[in-house]
Amino acid sequence: MIETDTIAAISTPIGEGAISIVRLSGKEALTIANRIFKGKNLHEVDSHTIHYGKVIEPKSDVVIDEVMVSVMRAPKTFTREDVVEINTHGGIVAVNRVLEIVLENGARLAEPGEFTKRAFLNGRIDLSQAEAVMDLIRAKTDKAMGVALRQMDGRLSQLIQSFRQELLETIAHVEVNIDYPEYDDVEEMTHALMREKTNKVSEQIEQLLQVAKQGKILREGLSTAIIGRPNVGKSSLMNTLVQENKAIVTDIPGTTRDIIEEYVNVRGVPLRLVDTAGIRETEDIVEKIGVERSHQVLKQSDLVLLVLNYHEPLTDDDRHLFKAVEGLEYIVIVNKTDLEQYLDLNEVKELAKGHPVITTSLIKEEGIDALEEAIRDLFFRGDIESDDMTYVSNARHIQLLKQAKKALEDAKASLDMGMPLDIVQIDITRTWELLGEIIGDTASEALIDQLFSQFCLGK
């Protein structure tokens, strides 16, 4: 173990607001807890047990709060150190007082992320798992939470480890080749092996990068534009989605101030809906500067909801909108089905080229379920629940994966040019290092400090 002093902080568990926990970690955790705890002798209880008692101020013997104390001895703890958790229920004043007394009796206030940092430094978790803890703290929807949990589980780490293992094998083969140049067939084999492994690993990295986009969406919300001619029901759609789905409270950095956005959670898909002002702007752009330009504006949307009017025949403006959303994820909403039909639905379906076409009457609240299902299906296609996929949702991981992929492409190019294997190997080794940075194997001290300082206090 690297650090030896005992740290403490208030650490309220996710999803529980009523009780607060003061968590201690370190060699002296039990001794300090014993000093302030009236109840069983915590040195004598079994590990991973919970005990009722009182926290007292040792000098005066004044009772501060009734508590439950969990005792968890090293090494089977989050930090791999002795951990004591004091569950208080006397509200914020009491919990602060308990922390104060713990600090007066030998513990030091933990720095932000220090518990997680210790877990990392003591080998309990790797860097990608530590970052997942951070994501958990910030997770906005249940699904995003699930992704973070899976990552914490170590799925991403396992995958990265397996890539590195493949690469290491080829590196080892090249070493053999250099050490025993007299075996001609080794040269042949190594070339073929390198080609095979680089292809295999680079394909797998590509797959990870593809799901990474979903991870980003989960964390930041799909930027969603509602477009359509005036009066088709865009504002009504926005209102319906906001009312039906609890808005997500967000603290995403970099959210543009001048555009007001609504965050809603539609069946686990977080949508960032641009408000009517923004939508009108989009409309204007379609009308004034034409399809080409509006296409560029729309390109920044992850999802477009294209609204048409069931009660009117299709117009050229409508047809232009179909052109503008070409190549994007979009859903067509044919609204006002409570009124007489003037729209040719067959033409709409043809124009939609396989994209979902949903009919709604927003006024009668019909078709909203179908719309919400279409949104969910578009982005999850059912497989996020079947869980075998590893989601990469961290910007640093994505960056490193891209660099790793680039290094592998360099290796392939060198192979194609018939470069000597020890040259090719430079790129393979580089890939191996880049992947290692994801799980913290080759991460520098500075990076580790910077990452952990982003954590909330008490995690």
- For the annotated binding site for Mg(2+), the residues are 235, 256
The answer to the question of residue 362 lying near ligand GDP (CB under 6 A) is: yes
Binding residues for (6S)-5-formyl-5,6,7,8-tetrahydrofolate: 23, 85, 124, 459
Among 209, 363, 370, 378, binds ligand GDP (CB under 6 A): 363
Nearer to Zn ion, 96 or 235 (CB): 235
E strand or H helix that includes residue 224: strand 222-227
The DSSP secondary structure of 115-179, one letter per residue, reads HHHHHHHTTSS-HHHHHHHHHHHH--SHHHHHHHHHHHTTHHHHHHHHHHHHHHHHHHHHHHHHH
Sole window of 258-266, 347-355, 356-364, 409-417 interacting with ligand GDP (rule: CB under 6 A): 356-364
**Least distance CB 261 / ligand GDP (angstroms):** 16
Quick one: the chain helix, strand, coil %, rounded to 5?
50, 15, 35
The answer to the question of residue 370 lying near ligand GDP (CB under 6 A) is: no
**Least distance CB 283 / Zn ion (angstroms):** 9
Q: How many helices (H) and strands (E) does the chain have?
A: 15, 13
| Stretch 222-261 residues interacting with Zn ion (CB under 5 A) | 234-235
**Least distance CB 161 / ligand GDP (angstroms):** 52
Q: How far apart are CA 459 and CA 455, in angstroms?
A: 7
Nearer to ligand GDP, 41 or 231 (CB): 231
- Give whole-number Cα distances, 443 to 121, 158, 433, in Å: 12, 17, 9
The two three-digit tokens of residue 58, written as one number: 């040792």
| Stretch 213-242 residues interacting with ligand GDP (CB under 6 A) | 228, 230-236
**Least distance CB 305 / Zn ion (angstroms):** 13
**Cβ contact 33:84 at 8 Å:** yes
The answer to the question of residue 141 lying near ligand GDP (CB under 6 A) is: no
Nearer to Zn ion, 235 or 403 (CB): 235
**Cβ contact 455:113 at 8 Å:** yes
3-state secondary structure 370-430: HHHHHHHHHHHCCCCCCCCCCCCCCHHHHHHHHHHHHHHHHHHHHHHCCCCHHHHHHHHHH
**Cβ contact 417:200 at 8 Å:** no
| Stretch 371-430 residues interacting with ligand GDP (CB under 6 A) | none
Closest CA to 270 of 139, 165, 168: 139
Taking CB within 5 to 8 Å according to partner kind, which of Zn ion, ligand GDP, none is near residue 339?
A: ligand GDP
Q: How far apart are CA 126 and CA 128, in angstroms?
A: 6
Taking CB within 5 to 8 Å according to partner kind, which of ligand GDP, Zn ion, none is near residue 361?
A: ligand GDP
The two three-digit tokens of residue 137, written as one number: 């703290």
**Least distance CB 304 / Zn ion (angstroms):** 16
**Least distance CB 309 / ligand GDP (angstroms):** 8
Nearer to Zn ion, 189 or 297 (CB): 297
Nearer to ligand GDP, 43 or 364 (CB): 364
The answer to the question of residue 96 lying near Zn ion (CB under 5 A) is: no
**Least distance CB 201 / Zn ion (angstroms):** 50
- Give whole-number Cα distances, 451 to 127, 161, 223, 321, 394, in Å: 9, 21, 27, 44, 12
Nearer to Zn ion, 235 or 255 (CB): 235
Q: How far apart are CA 400 and CA 312, in angstroms?
A: 51
Residue 44: CB atoms within 10 A of its CB come to: 9
The answer to the question of residue 361 lying near ligand GDP (CB under 6 A) is: yes
Among 80, 150, 272, 336, binds ligand GDP (CB under 6 A): 336
Q: Length of the chain in residues, anyone? A: 459
Nearer to Zn ion, 315 or 399 (CB): 315
Evaluated on CA atoms 64, 69, 74, 75, the torsion sign reads negative
The answer to the question of residue 338 lying near ligand GDP (CB under 6 A) is: yes
DSSP state of 37: E
Binding residues: 23, 85, 124, 231-236, 250-256, 275-278, 459
Taking CB within 5 to 8 Å according to partner kind, which of Zn ion, ligand GDP, none is near residue 419?
A: none
**Least distance CB 233 / ligand GDP (angstroms):** 4
Residue ranges of alpha helices (H) inside 180-244 are 184-220, 234-244
Taking CB within 5 to 8 Å according to partner kind, which of ligand GDP, Zn ion, none is near residue 245?
A: none
Taking CB within 5 to 8 Å according to partner kind, which of ligand GDP, Zn ion, none is near residue 338?
A: ligand GDP
The answer to the question of residue 97 lying near ligand GDP (CB under 6 A) is: no
Binding residues (CB under 5 A) for Zn ion: these are 234-235
Binding residues (CB under 6 A) for ligand GDP: these are 228, 230-236, 335-336, 338-339, 361-363
